[in-house]
Chains A and B, each alone.
Chain A
Amino acid sequence: GDSVTQMEGPVTLSEEAFLTINCTYTATGYPSLFWYVQYPGEGLQLLLKATKADDKGSNKGFEATYRKETTSFHLEKGSVQVSDSAVYFCALSDPGTNAGKSTFGDGTTLTVKP
């Protein structure tokens, strides 16, 4: 079955540092890939997505590129802020499947210190 593996956290960075959170997946076919962000005490919000190989999703300074050859969708940001402190989830959904039936990774907690 499908699976998503994220780098284990927690990740602690200083403000303005470069961020990478690794995500690899296992799926049959060509899934859509997502990054969600969960701020403390809240539900998840879609951060970005990519629906086919070599697509780059981007939002709020975050980027991730759909790499079919390495089955990866790593999240990056060039300069993190304290307000980026949150839990980040990588997820995939099979073609023709609703987003609600996505497979989620375990989440990576990011703490950014001033």
Chain B
Amino acid sequence: SQTIHQWPATLVQPVGSPLSLECTVEGTSNPNLYWYRQAAGRGLQLLFYSVGIGQISSEVPQNLSASRPQDRQFILSSKKLLLSDSGFYLCAWDHRDSPLHFGNGTRLTVT
């Protein structure tokens, strides 16, 4: 069966520090991969998506970047965190015409 792993579960980082969140998918090949941010009391904002290795599309301009070094690995990064980067970050995958599967998320607090 397919599973998606996302870590860490929680993270507290100072302003100006770097960030690296990792997501891996097991049990499927060539998934579409997504990073979302969920602000408190708000819906999901799609940040990045990837349809293949090295292929990244950005949905909103921001302080973050994404990379896909392997088929089932998706990384969210920042060189210097801002206070406004705090939030709940969710990784997800799907295939065409399949449901969307989410990881358990990372709660990021920038202090």
Contacts and interface: CB of A to CB of B under 8 A. Distances in A.
A22 to B, nearest CB: 15
A99 B94 contact: yes
A60 to B, nearest CB: 15
B94 A104 contact: no
Contact of B43 (A42, A98, A104): A104
Contacts, number: 51
Interface stretch (B11-19, B65-73, B76-84, B95-103): B95-103
A44 B42 contact: no
Interface in B89-111: 90, 92-96, 98-100, 102-105
**Most chain A CB neighbours (cut-off 10 Å) among B34, B44, B49, B104:** B44
A101 B46 contact: yes
A102 B44 CA distance: 9
B74 to A, nearest CB: 12
B66 to A, nearest CB: 13
B94 A41 contact: no
Interface of B: 6, 32, 34, 41-44, 46, 49, 90, 92-96, 98-100, 102-105
Interface of A: 4, 41-46, 49, 89, 98-102, 104-107
